[in-house]
Structure 1
């Protein structure tokens, strides 16, 4: 059983001298199928705005995924539009967390709250090198549509294994991040993942995946701002130019220096894409080839970390 703290709930009370009764109607749905979820235990803590005392109330959803909680706050003292507040927690076997909740007032003293739940589903991964040996400290991660990043990533142990508990709405493909390594897209069904040290292929694939797709304006604004932060952290060159669609550093100068560009552009379906392009400065002399390989290794790590950094903080 898992306890999840819901968002604070607020109803505004009218000026009152007598006890006032409020009702909260909970509608609990599966976050993926949107089907009603029966048998969900909801525990509600109601705070009296005048006495500051708490009432512990509860209900359990019926076959329609609904239940009601009624609470009364005290009168006998004048409070004008005082906030009647409460918090709720949810217990349901097989579900790991509250994904989203929203409230709607249907009367002066009634609020309907729709709560979406995420199912619990543990998936095991095994990460090995091309020699078949386990790879330790490899980070397996998935970009989830709104789910917290803490539930979408794991780090392999000395046996090269780790486990992720996926919400029902996990993305289809993920990645493995390990310095100097590259993997094909990882399936959310789990199983064995093989890493390779083919730097050219790794760099090409990582660069192609260094992008974030968004739709809502506020989400895209946050993604773009986080991408700018990531560029500032990973580039050695300072920012030369920045507006609402492009942020670019000065050209990197000297071996080992890194520059880059963040671009926000519209794509199909009314969505936007926030992508990263990174590049190195050029060296000189007989060590150019070695310097270039070192640069590629740096860029690989920059590209591999981009999507995970932005997506884990954007929601």
Structure 2
């Protein structure tokens, strides 16, 4: 198909308008994230993914949803060192916060292969190391459960018209990923300060920012305060970290740098949850922070809390679906 100059300009305007609409709809701003070609965004898909995120039918015995471990008021972490699975298998690593995932890769503490939200969802739903939601081999049962609900049937049909109403596991994880891409946190005092609102940070927090830039920003860098690389910050413990995947002794005890947005509400810290407080986590890094510098540094870390993100009703447990109360 060939276009004249006017046709090309109109097409470019339409594409630009659609992209701008998506940025606005999902609060992506100017930096739209990469979206898989087989999972384009849509409002109905996000609505479906949000409902699935809070649905315990995604676990073998109906006791665990994604939100069981990812609580909004903890920035979608959960406040525990680790979290047991649906069948009481012990948790292995600290539950990470979920924000700005659309731009993050890799996604987990120590597995660089988990580079997309669609793939990562299966670690929790189908995974066996550790067993979390315990649905390995039960994909057909999951489809059956969801298919009993006429609202789910309607949402899947609208979100995935190419599937002609069929509910399958691949579309479950696509919907979850679409919802997770909307979990955008950019409303902290630090964000406002970086945008030019110089009074957004207290004088103490500004002092702490100076210390942070000097001592911490080498790894906690960029818009989400992570370099997304793997580091060792202390003695190697029982968890091999990245070496479990790479099989390299040099990678023993290496874990991906966590982002620090909303860090004040995501305790405990580190890959094993062994640091009960931010001060403990800083000490675990071997940082020789002077006692006078610690209160300002903690004040800066507190300024990374986005209270609007923690209470945004668009991310909360849905109270209705398909126009009816749940």
The TM-score normalised by the length of structure 2 is 0.19
The structure with the greater share of residues assigned to strand is: 1
| Higher RCO (CA-CA < 8 Å; seq separation 6+) | 2
The structure with the greater share of residues assigned to helix is: 2
The TM-score normalised by the length of structure 1 is 0.19
Which entry has the higher C-alpha Rg, 1 or 2?
A: 1
